[in-house]
Each structure stands twice: as structure tokens, then as C-alpha cells.
Amino acid sequence: MLNKERHYAILTWLNRYERATVNHLAKLFGVTKETIRSDLNTLSREGCIERCHGGAIIKRRIFHTQSVNNLDTNIMHFFDNPPSKKTVKSQHKGRKMKGKVCILGSFNVDIIANVDRFPQSGESIFSENTVIGPGGKGANQALAVSKCHVKTHFVGKVGNDQFSQLAYEHLSSSDIGSFMLYQDKQSKTGTALIYVCQSDGENMIAISPGANQSITADEVEAITSEVRSSDVFLTQLENNLPATFRAIEIARRCGTKVVLDPAPYSPHVINCLQNVDFLTPNETEASLLSGIQVTDISSAKTAAKAIKAKGVGQVIITMGAKGALIYDGHEFTHVPALKALCVDTTGAGDAFNGAYTAAMAKGQSILQAVKFACAFASLAVEKEGASNMPEYKDVLTRLAQYEHITIMTEKN
């Protein structure tokens, strides 16, 4: 275990149990007492813990009030969500958690303009209203996972600005069980400018990735223990690709299943597909990956075969109102979409990916997981805001509609 990885593990342990002895930590991590003393002295110098006779105590107040600590990897906050927060405590009350998902991904501040229609080139139009809130594919997908009664750990990076505090407050007040938030002092927090058309809920998005693009190799290596302890690792392409691809390699090495949402599309994604168990492109991304224009189920099947041939384990093409197509190399399965009163499609893909990954972490079959994800996404589009995810009990109610729908499977 690397020093930084062990430091993170020690802090996670102390956050959960508040204090620990040198002897216990040495046995827990399989190192000498001298090594643990050195670790604790380092963490104490950085203001993360207080040394006490024979061990250490977490300085929990510092994690609540400081925007940045001085740990050499510039980790902003990394700990389980504070149990003292009433919102978190009430949200988790009575839950039976099964499975674990680790998500590496983006945090963005979404600036959303609700419009009657999209503007033409060179045209100025009025917005019905404008909303600023938390977003980013990684954070949204982590929130979706957490709504499914699955242990959730999110890893992201923010900049040196006021939006970084918004990130911390959003994550710590959510259902996300734990998170590691790095900070880049030279960058701004990522932002997304979003138009949402009021007539049909469709959207147009422009992303300024900011600090999301500055995750380092050391920061990726430091999450190895979280990846190893997870059933599924979920990521996207809003972070810098070398870091993302390295994290995927770590997950493969740890024997953790990998789900990749190839968005926003990059032609370089081809370089990591052999390490991906489940790829979840939408119609546009599937078209770009395969070179085949996806317009219907038939063309989606052709595209899925072409993508599977590039080395990925299984392909799930999400098709909005047309549902989702599964291809495992032997047969195609089309899962129809459930009817929804569409308000905002901005977070539909994130909702699907988070719910699908959560279901896989619980041990469900691919078909079960896709049906669950479709039900989850159908409820998500009925809410405003990409991070506004549905409640688990409501998803189960809507999922029951599949009992009356025929699922078509076709041999390759």
C-alpha cells in the first residue's frame, strides 16, 4: 500500500471510529508501529488529526470548516459523510445497504437557462428563469447510485474558487456515503452552461471542465483501496483521459467490474475498451464509436456489433424514448422505455448509468439492471435539474410496469 493510500485509509478509519491506537493501526494495515507513527505525525502536521498517548484522534471540526488542507496531494475533503448532519441521518435511517460502487468523475456547477426554444445562430432570446446548482456526470451518477441503497464512494476534483465550497456542501448533505474531493489551486471548478427547452425537456450543454481535467497519477493511485473494496467501478470521460484510463486499469487489476459512460465522446476511448466490462454509449456516442449512424433499433444492433468487436465486454446503447439495447456478443435484447412525463432530460443518462451500476453491484443480471435503470431514468426526466434523482421506492413502483411489457431477445 502506498503512503498516500494508507494515509487516506487511516483518515477513513479515524473518521468512522474517531480514535485508534498505533498498535491497532499497525495490525490493521500490516505495517510496523514505526511506520504508523510516521503516518500519524504527517497527518498531524497537516492538521488532519490530533496525536494522543499511544494513538490519534480525528479533528472532525477541521473537515467541516476548512476549504482546503495542506496535504501534499491537495486533498480537499476525504471522509464518510458526517453522521451529525440530520439530513444524512434521516435519509439513511432504516436502509439495508447492499453492494458498493466507487465513482471517479466530474463535479460541475450547472448554470441552467430554461427557454421556450433553442436560440438560432446570432440570436438573443429571453430565459424563463436561470438556476445555478450542483452537477457534473460523476457527481450526478454518484447521487443516482446512492439513491439505490448501495454504498457509494465518489472521487472528484474542484478548483480554487467559491464553487468548491458548493461542491463540498452538496456532497456532504447528499446520500453519497463517502467521498474524496481533491482541489487544484491553479484551476477553476468545472462549469456547465445548459439550455433546457420547456416544450419537450430537451437540452443543449457546453462544458468548461476546469479542475476536472487536472487529476494526477498519484491522486488516482490513492483511491486503489476504495476501488478494490467495491463491486463495480463507474467512470466517464469528463476528467483528463490519462487519469481515467489509469483508474480503469486499477479496477481491472483489482478484479472490480468496470462500467464506462463514454461521454463526452473522445476518439481516444478506443485505447481503454479492452479493460471495460460494460460500455453505455447513447445513440450519438454509439454512432461515433462504430462509424454507423444510429437512428433505430436495427442500426443500433449493427453499431453494437461493431463496438463489441473493439474489445469491450458488453455494450448497452441507451436510446432515450426508444429504450436500451443490450449486446453481449451472442444475442441482442431490447428493453423498451417506460412512459414518462418529460420535464428535463439533462440528467437522464447519468440517472441510467448510476442506477444500472447500482443494480449490478447488488448482483442483479444485466437485463434486470437495465430494466431498473430504465425505470429510474424515466422518473428522473420528470424532475427539473440533472442532480434531482428519484426515490428508491418510487423506482420499484414504476419498475413493476415491466411485468406487462414483452422484452425481445434475438440471437446474433
- Is 363 annotated in some ligand binding site? no
Question: Nearest to residue 42, comparing CAs of 75, 66, 67?
Answer: 75
Spatial strand order in the sheet of 190-197: 129-135, 108-115, 190-197, 203-208
- Is 385 annotated in some ligand binding site? yes
- Is 160 annotated in some ligand binding site? no
- Is 238 annotated in some ligand binding site? yes
- Is 190 annotated in some ligand binding site? no
- Is 322 annotated in some ligand binding site? yes
- Is 105 annotated in some ligand binding site? no
CB-CB neighbours of 201 under 10 Å: 18
CA 313 to chain centre: 20
Question: Nearest to residue 43, comparing CAs of 16, 80, 82, 69?
Answer: 69
Q: Catalytic residue at 350?
A: yes
Instruction: Evaluate whether 280 touches 357 at the Cβ level (below 8 Å).
Output: no
- Is 323 annotated in some ligand binding site? yes
Question: Nearest to residue 248, comparing CAs of 280, 220, 267, 229?
Answer: 220
- Is 340 annotated in some ligand binding site? no
Residues facing residue 179 across a β-bridge: 79, 154
- Is 349 annotated in some ligand binding site? yes
- Is 99 annotated in some ligand binding site? no
Q: Which residue has the cell 436500451?
A: 324
**Which of 39, 184, 261, 350 does the annotation list as catalytic?**
350
- Is 319 annotated in some ligand binding site? yes
Q: How far apart are CA 208 and CA 109, in angstroms?
A: 10
Q: Positive or negative, the Cα torsion across 157, 161, 166, 168?
A: positive
Count of positions (residues) in the chain: 412
CA 257 to chain centre: 14
- Is 22 annotated in some ligand binding site? no
Residues contributing to the annotated binding site for K(+): 344, 346, 380, 383, 385
Residues noted as catalytic? 350
Residues contributing to the annotated binding site for substrate: 108-110, 136-140, 238, 350
Residues contributing to the annotated binding site for ATP: 282, 318-323, 349-350
Residues contributing to the annotated binding site: 108-110, 136-140, 238, 282, 318-323, 344, 346, 349-350, 380, 383, 385
